[in-house]
A and B are shown apart, each in its own frame.
Chain A
Amino acid sequence: MDQSDLITAARSDPDAFGELYDQTAPTVYRFAYSLVRDHHRAEDLVSETYRRAIDRLPTYQDQGRPFQAWLFTIARNLAVDGARRSQRESPLLDHDTPDDAWLGEALARDQETAQVRSSLARLSDIHREVLILRFGHELSCRQVADQLGKSEPAIKQMSYRALMRLRELLKEDGYVRYA
């Protein structure tokens, strides 16, 4: 099923919607994070974006624009509204890239990061979770342990193994630094 069929099916079929979510959510999250620079707020923003998307899907029209850009626009509008309400500084992308071009620009800007991202996607869920929470979201071992219901030493050990595994994968995938 190509993406436009999936979008049509996702209007009425929760499984198709779930599939569409799986395909797009990681990127929408990155976009959301680039707007708000905070993981809690990025999570709220992503959930809110898809909530609104559910309401608007029935009237969505494919205008040759990437579907993700449609989601980005929803996210940006929500972020701007949220900032206005709480009188925070209005979130903007680093250099005001239009939503439609954000994905392409972000990719071109950082090939190496994209490489890490695709190797990261091949890690097991639990290894990915530990690495992201510990080194990405900068939680302590204790906090990660509490969140995942494991012991602190287990998390320490697991982060080390996960990082070693990630580097093996990076090597396999021809990542320049470990080639």
Chain B
Amino acid sequence: MSATPEPETEEWGLSESERQALSEAPSPAFLRSSRNMLRGRHARANKLLGWFDLETPVGTLRVVHDGALVHLVTNAPEQFEERTHTSFGFEPPELGAPDISMSMRRVFAGEAVATDYAYLDSLPPFQQLVLKATARIPRGEVRPYQWVAREAGTALAVRAAGTALGHNPVPFLVPCHRVVRSDWSLGKYSAAGGPQTKLAVLRWEGCNIDRLLQAEAGSAQVVANLGDGSFCLPVCPFVDEIAPGDRRDFRRIEDALAAGMQPCSHCRPIAAA
């Protein structure tokens, strides 16, 4: 970055009308997110929702959308009527949306972010934060519930994070299947098929299941690479790159830190400073 000479703020000399115009203006980011929220609400109020089926390697997904955003995903079409009545008060008609199925395929391929296509604004704020944090887990990887709670800004609310994920209205799209228990066992899955479906989705995404099973069998909370002095969650893909003699398992994160190891910036085993 080039060094533009920058005087202190007080010397920037904002005129009274500049100050006034800025102080009563809405933040553009607020306007955008509020517009999305209202658009989805408008579509719901006017019953302008529709559904289509999307074929995937893990079965058929039924997708409810408003023409721009996805409101519901389910792999249990037999419960569709009940689900939609509970969520929307009516059952939407079949309505194809090629743009949305394309976007969803891009999200599944790891080329787009789920939260840009999911309507989450009807959910409680905490649940939105949890789902947004979950959407940041890379394709083909997993993270523990604790990690999600921490990334959502509420490290202590692990149980609440689990509940929020269990009520994810758009599973598969917002990847709650990438969240596992802190002993690295798979944990529950709310979509039809339970943990078996969870495993199938992870396999489809190219997740290294052996690494996950190894993590579950071992007792390490983190794994250090003595070669470069970093430590990772045992499910981090960078664990595979540790030379055999350089690997050291730590039962506790504190021990890795005490040994002078630095947290991996990819899997973020501890909160970013």
B-binding residues in A (CB < 8 A):
11-12, 14, 17-18, 21-22, 25-26, 29-30, 33-34, 39, 42-43, 46-47, 50-51, 54-55, 110, 112-117, 120, 125, 128-129, 131-133, 135-138, 147-148, 153-154, 156-157, 160-161, 163, 166, 177
CA distance A57 to B200 in the complex (A): 46
Picked from B17, B45, B68, the residue with its CB within 8 Å of the CB of A113 is B17
Which of A14, A42, A112 has the most chain B CB within a 10 Å cutoff? A14
| Top 5 closest pairs, chain A to chain B, by CB | A136-B22, A116-B21, A112-B17, A29-B26, A113-B17
Mind listing 21 A-B residue pairs with CB under 8 Å? A12-B48, A14-B46, A17-B38, A17-B39, A17-B42, A26-B26, A30-B25, A30-B26, A43-B30, A46-B34, A50-B34, A54-B41, A117-B25, A128-B25, A132-B22, A132-B25, A132-B26, A136-B25, A147-B29, A148-B29, A153-B1
Which residues of the other chain, B, contact A163 by a CB distance below 8 angstroms? 12, 14
Interface residue B28 (Cβ < 8 Å from any Cβ of A):
yes
* Separation of A114 and B112 alpha carbons in the complex (Å): 39
Contact residues in A for B26 (Cβ distance below 8 Å):
25-26, 29-30, 33, 42-43, 46, 132
Please judge, given known A-B contacts A54-B45, A157-B6, whether A131 and B22 are in contact too, CB under 8 Å. Answer: yes
In the assembled complex, B67 has its CB within 8 A of some CB on chain A? yes
Check: B20 CB closer than 8 A to any chain A CB: yes
A132 and B27 form a contact (CB under 8 A): yes
Across the interface, name the chain A residue whose C-beta is closest to B34: A47
User: Are B17 and A120 in contact, with the CB atoms below 8 A?
Assistant: no
Find chain A residues with CB under 8 A from B42 CB. 14, 17, 54
Instruction: Tell me if B78 counts as interface (CB < 8 A to partner A).
Output: no
Residues of B within 8 A of A (CB): 1, 4, 6, 12, 14-31, 34-35, 37-39, 41-43, 45-46, 48, 66-68
The CA of A29 and the CA of B25, in the complex, are separated in Å by 7
Tell me the dominant secondary structure on chain A's binding face.
helix
Interchain CB contact under 8 A, A30 and B27: no
Given A110-B17, A161-B4, also A133-B45 (CB < 8 A): no
A95 → B minimal CB distance (Å)? 16
User: Given the complex of chains A and B, what is the CA–CA distance between A33 and B15 in angstroms?
Assistant: 20
Given A12-B48, A26-B31, A160-B4, are A21 and B22 neighbors across the interface (CB < 8 Å)? no
> Chain B's nearest CB lies how many Å from the CB of A26?
6
B-side contacts of A112, CB under 8 Å = 15-17
Residues of chain A within 8 A (CB-CB) of B21 are 113-114, 116-117, 120, 136
For B29, list chain A residues within 8 Å (CB): 129, 147-148
Q: Given A30-B25, A116-B18, A177-B15, verify A157-B39 contact (CB < 8 Å).
A: no
* Other A-B pairs, 17, CB within 8 Å; known A33-B26, A129-B28: A11-B46, A17-B42, A25-B26, A25-B35, A29-B25, A42-B26, A43-B26, A51-B41, A54-B41, A116-B21, A128-B28, A129-B27, A136-B21, A136-B24, A137-B23, A160-B6, A166-B18
Q: In the complex, how many angstroms separate the beta carbon of B63 from the nearest chain A beta carbon?
A: 17
Most buried by B among A12, A132, A160: A132
